[in-house]
Amino acid sequence: MRKKVTIIGSGNVGGTTAQRLTETGLADIVLYDIVDGLPQGKALDLAEAGPVVGFDVQITGTTEYGPTADSDIVVFTSGAPRKPGMSRDDLLEVNKKIVTENVEQVARYSPNCVLLMVNNPLDAMAQLALKVSGFPAERVVGQAGILDTARFRTFLAWELGVSVKDVHAYVLGGHGDDMVPLVSYTTVGGVPVGQLIPEERLEEIVQRARDGGAEIVGLLKTGSAFQAPSAAVVEMLEAILLDRKRILPCSAYVQGQYGIHDLYVGVPVKLGAGGVEEIVEIPLSADERAALHETAASVRGLVEALGL
């Protein structure tokens, strides 16, 4: 029997995630949204692609939580998108209400699921979801670090004219303007990136990675990124559904690791069937550690603003 994945929110991120996941053939999918017709229409459209693409998974669209029952994983994409000039943090209050109301239903209908949070401000919303759901921390995880790292890798590959597959990196910390690209762990074909790109230029690329989401918001004007975020979500889904034990940068509940306590922040984790099976501690330089603590302080400010 195939696993079951529910996607809360059928907008650009949710719909594109559903498309990418159906094409893997790994799970049946339920698309949920409050807008009647939207999830049903997208589900039907996707199902009709099956004979062409070659997948047989079941895809259901619904505005009720009943069909989501007993999901193995619930992906939470629902929320207000950013507009030009807005930071991720500006979405705090509007998305607090959305997360609270919907996560209560997720916990009711799928009490044993892994909950994968995607909406912004990501780390604070993951912490809110942890409290509202009552789930153990390993079963609530946020998608951010994979996306931020993908942006960093993309810009480095463009700079050097090489395949993105040969660029390896980590971006840790909160999913905000003070995220922490780890230059010391960044290599291209095994060569440290600092040997290939001058320091000043490298810092410009680091800053572009930090501003990657805002750059796309500014270009689109009426929405935010969805192609790369959905690809990052599906990488996490595959790791969980196939119990791959992947080491990936994700937003996880840190309890003392890296000197940070009781807070969601982006760190390397081992991601498998149980969700976050381990938080992986890697040695950081003094500057990197200080930057990670600075971004954690920003996240904690948002968490406190939520009253958590």
Angstrom distance (rounded) from CA 287 to CA 180: 10
Pair 7, 110: CB distance under 8 Å = no
Give catalytic residues, as residue numbers: 175
The domains of the chain, with CATH numbers, are: 3-142 (3.40.50.720), 145-305 (3.90.110.10)
Other CB atoms within 10 Å distance of the CB of residue 304: 10
Pair 270, 280: CB distance under 8 Å = yes
Q: What is the pLDDT of residue 92?
A: 81
CA pseudo-torsion sign 292, 126, 254, 263? positive
User: Residue 131: CA atoms inside 13 Å, Cβ hemisphere, count?
Assistant: 16
Q: What is the pTM of this model?
A: 0.94
pLDDT in tens, the chain (308 residues): 899 999 999 999 999 999 999 999 999 999 999 999 999 999 999 999 999 999 999 999 999 999 999 999 999 998 776 666 666 557 788 889 899 999 999 999 999 999 999 998 999 999 999 999 999 999 999 999 999 999 999 999 999 999 999 999 999 998 888 889 999 999 999 999 999 999 999 999 999 999 999 999 999 988 889 999 999 999 999 999 999 999 999 999 999 999 999 999 999 999 999 999 999 999 999 999 999 999 999 999 999 999 98
Give backbone dihedrals phi and psi of 228, rounded to 5 degrees, phi first: -65, -40
